[in-house]
Amino acid sequence: MTGPGLRELGFDDGFAESFAPFAAEGVVPGRVVAGHSRVLRVRTEDGEALANVTGRLRHEARGAADLPTVGDWVALRPAGAGRRAVIEAVLPRRTAFVRRAPGDRSVAQVLAANVDTVFLVMGLDGDFNPRRIERALVLAWESGALPVVVLNKTDLCEDLAARRAEIESVAPGVPVVAIAARPGEGLEALTSWLAPGRTVALLGSSGVGKSTLVNRLLGRDKQKTREVRAADQRGRHTTTHRELIGLPGGALLLDTPGLREIQLWSDGAGLDAAFADLGELFTSCRFTDCSHTTEPGCAVGAAVEDGRLDPARLESFRKLQAELRALEIREDPLKRREERSRWKAIHKSMRHGPSKPGR
């Protein structure tokens, strides 16, 4: 049986079944609610505890993405006398919002785990950027969570209908909600996703108003807020770590620091879902191997010509597709060697040039 405290955190029969093999080992189920460097804060039936990850779990992890993060359910060994609690295992994740970690290395970074809904927050001021929403949607669909685009700062937008239509055109099938978090306008439109025991993550760049939204949903000022810079309508991060926050209605809100960059980490499924409208066009081309450039009978080219497809959206798809291809090559040594061989052949042919007549 699951206690009421755990149910409020989203621990249901499915997670209870995953925890069952650990039940006889003197550990208890808990959910990671905050992360501070190498120490995690875990909430259990009996309250919160600071915890470290066991050396065995670190050793067996294939990378940082396998280690516990905010939102994870874990098997926790309670603290003994003079000792800190210890995380001995991470229960299987239902969803995981993953990006490639900032920097040159190809390393996965899990931003949030076991999230039901992702609020992709974007400002209707200088932050407005449909291309950024397309990129975020790739990761959101890849995560397994339901994406919802939240357009904030309607009080600063002169043509809301046009801005909303622009986002709806690049987010087919995705709910788009417009709010003004600072004066608290339109927040009731979010309530259907904020059900008891459900986890919602807030993701967006700095200055979009995530901290203000958290405060409004809580009904009190918990998160610090700062004014955005007048020059570029961007702000500094006011949230410094990921944290799972309980809302008055029973939902759980996972706030994250503003993302300066969203680098893709996907096997392609997220890209297909985010650009499902292009996928339908691809299957309508005359040739199955159509490159969607100059071939006759190309449905994509026809859609661009008659105005059904924005060329900028097609270019965005190609850019993201190329980025995923580059990531795949970096991750797969065989494909990396094949790509190097292909380019060597291309460069060799360019150096020698075309054969001269009569030779």
Q: How confident is the model at residue 42 (pLDDT cuts 50, 70, 90)?
A: very high
Q: Which amino acid, residue 235?
A: G
Question: In this structure, what token pair is assigned to residue 174?
Answer: 């995705």
Residue found by looking up tokens 């996703």 in the block:
193
User: Residue 25's pLDDT is what?
Assistant: 82
Who contacts 180 (Cβ-Cβ below 8 Å, separation ≥6)?
A: 152, 153, 154, 155, 186
Domain with CATH 2.40.50.140 in the chain: 4-90
Second-level CATH architecture of 96-255: 3-Layer(aba) Sandwich (3.40)
Please write the tens of the pLDDT for every residue from 324-341. 888 776 665 544 455 445
Domain with CATH 3.40.50.300 in the chain: 96-255
pTM of the entire predicted model: 0.81
Q: How confident is the model at residue 224 (pLDDT cuts 50, 70, 90)?
A: low
Domain boundaries 269-352, corresponding CATH code = 1.10.40.50
Please write the tens of the pLDDT for every residue from 110-141. 888 999 999 999 999 988 999 999 999 998 99
Tell me the pLDDT of the chain averaged across its residues.
83
Q: Is the Cβ–Cβ distance between 109 and 234 less than 8 Å?
A: no
Does the 4-90 domain belong in CATH 3.60.20.30?
no
Please write the tens of the pLDDT for every residue from 75-115. 999 987 668 999 999 999 999 988 776 665 667 788 889 99
Q: Which residues pair with 178 in a beta bridge?
A: 151
What angle is formed at CA 170 by the lines to CA 308 and CA 122, rounded to 5 degrees?
150
User: Residue 268's pLDDT is what?
Assistant: 81
Q: How confident is the model at residue 204 (pLDDT cuts 50, 70, 90)?
A: confident
Does 313 score more than 50 pLDDT?
Answer: yes
User: Residue 38's pLDDT is what?
Assistant: 78
